[in-house]
Structure 1
């Protein structure tokens, strides 16, 4: 259907695949991602579109198996039904999609991720460990005296590589990984994991869990009383997970991100006001993951406008140093990664209290 629509509208429309999770453990993020991307499209089209063409999103469910997602995106690109790809999805999906695209169209990956991606045509808007994880571990050691960590993650590329990076940072600052556990995506029973957490003697848990898995862990962690003595930090936990976990399960829980709904900056507050004005008070929860999809659409548009082209070689040639204003403030592209401010926040019931910029 996307192909026939694109052909019917001709060259006046630029179709962009939006790959976001609509099912599975990360499905909790889908509505926010879709709304924020739609807001970006509205603003871009109101400003003349992209190189004289109306921008249109083609949704792709990124919550399925990575191979299923990759096959659909490949089919869309091969048919000429989309001229770009963006969206928030887990690294396992990116690892399957990127080789299929193979630089034929630009691909803006918006999730925070483990770092190291350099395939042609791939641009990355999310936080990386050098901006997010390392500075946070430094803060915990210097401010809270936390040096002993147990790592609990889902079993795929992002948690495993992030755990390796965290261990390297901790060795550098004299910290210790007391234990390390990885569970299948979709895990809801953490009883065995919690027994090992308690036995490990750690000061804090590094949570590398996605969506519903993080919710289940938070509830079980608090129910076991571990929140009395052990802190939790996750680099991927936002307002949806906080709400779903419940206020009784968020004591001692912290996160870091480039954007929060309650971030008191002029750009952040303006974005939130625009979002709720457009979608109403019952809009999907605004959060860093959803905002990242706004960022991905904006970034590709800015690159296309600067290059005067939608072709990957032209966009790559002008990418370095591209800067623009976004809900995250002034952001700049370096080595095809978006350089941005990252903030540390602590849970206060069902909201995030931003403590400081890292």
Structure 2
């Protein structure tokens, strides 16, 4: 399996009541791009096992496009876009990306959810010389100059997570994850960051996706006598592990707990076990600035959902705002001009002053914006601390 399946299987926990008006295999304006207008090819898993997360991303994307167009568009013209459903199938993602890339009217690509679909689209975008923006969390799978990932990297999450766990609970940290590339990459970075902060990884456990019984894993974790647990168990497994860890006495109110199971996607299923805990995010629905509050209201009106808003929706929303501002500022029209515009632009936004893309040293890009620590509560994820910009730019992209 490719890395970042975390986001893919996380979709299983997003409420299935999320509905978007007019959603289908092809949604949005389809007029061909002319001159220096901006037309986006949007790839989304609107059906299949990760459709809920895909629809959350689509909601954030479409809200941003509507707001940009209401404010005058890009280069004096409205953004147009076409939506195609890849069903979270890398083969379909590749075919859709190729069709978009062969259409001279499509300026750049946006979307997909899972790591394998993003990895399928990236080489197509490279061959076509067009930008490809994603909204998913985790390190990009490919080091590419045309990839613009708006999601948080492993180290952007881990640096504040590890520091807080060691300071609040103690140096002995146990790691548990689903058994594929992303959690292993995450654990490797965590061990290094722990050592720099006076901590130690005292246990490292992995379980296959679809595990229903974590009793033996929990027993081994407990035997290591950790002060805190860092978890990258994902999807429905994240809920199962959290509930069983509490039932078997490992996860107590005094035990530190961070990682994927605290994401807003899972909150409805584990609320009693995570409420009151802190969780590192880039954005949360408790962010109080006017633009974030307006986005929360627009998202709830569009989807009918009252649950915590998935970060992928916000990443898509702020990503489109960044793209529109960069292209407009540069008056970019061609695919090459758009790549240059995105790479050189910086924007003050609710995500921080001077948000921008920087290189990771291997040819890939990292989106530099503030990270936040949020306190999980019944009313949402309230910001407790602004962690600022994380300077560790290394990624595991290949």
- Return the TM-score normalized by structure 1: 0.84
Shift in alpha-carbon separation, 1:261–1:161, aligned structure 2, 3 A: same
Please state whether the residue corresponding to 2:189 is helix, strand or coil: helix
Shift in alpha-carbon separation, 1:50–1:356, aligned structure 2, 3 A: same
**1:330 and 2:330 matched:** no
Tell me if structure 1 keeps the 8 A contact 2:175–2:205: yes
Q: 1:118: how far off? A: 4.1
Please state whether the residue corresponding to 1:112 is helix, strand or coil: coil
Partner of 1:262: 286
Structure 2 alignment gaps of length 5 or more: 1-24, 359-364, 388-398
Q: Distance in 2 between matches of 1:68 and 1:196?
A: 41
Give matches, 1:110-259, under 5 Å. 110-114=135-139, 118-142=143-167, 144-228=168-252, 229-234=254-259, 237-245=262-270, 247-250=271-274, 253-259=277-283
Q: 1:122: how far off? A: 1.3
**Over residues 174-193 of structure 1, what are the superposed CA-to-partner deviations in whole Å (9 max), with x where a residue is unaligned?**
21112223334454443343
Q: Distance in 2 between matches of 1:214 and 1:271?
A: 28
Q: 1:2: how far off? A: 5.8
Of residues 100-109 and 267-276 in structure 1, the stretch that sits farther from structure 2 once superposed is 267-276
Please state whether the residue corresponding to 2:202 is helix, strand or coil: strand
- Return the TM-score normalized by structure 2: 0.76
Structure 1 alignment gaps of length 5 or more: none
Tell me if structure 2 keeps the 8 A contact 1:86–1:296: no
Q: 1:152: how far off? A: 2.0
Q: Distance in 1 between matches of 2:40 and 2:306?
A: 23
Q: 1:113: how far off? A: 1.6
Q: Distance in 2 between matches of 1:236 and 1:125?
A: 21
Tell me if structure 2 keeps the 8 A contact 1:344–1:357: yes
Cα RMSD after superposing both structures: 3.2
Q: Distance in 1 between matches of 2:214 and 2:86?
A: 25
Tell me if structure 2 keeps the 8 A contact 1:26–1:211: no
**Over residues 14-65 of structure 1, what are the superposed CA-to-partner deviations in whole Å (9 max), with x where a residue is unaligned?**
5423344446665442332221111011112223333344334433446624
Match of 1:287 among 305, 310, 313: 310
Count of matched residue positions in the alignment of Structure 1 and Structure 2? 353
**Over residues 277-334 of structure 1, what are the superposed CA-to-partner deviations in whole Å (9 max), with x where a residue is unaligned?**
x427546742322100112222222222233224343234344552324342434213
Tell me if structure 1 keeps the 8 A contact 2:280–2:372: yes
Give matches, 1:299-310, under 5 Å. 299-310=322-333
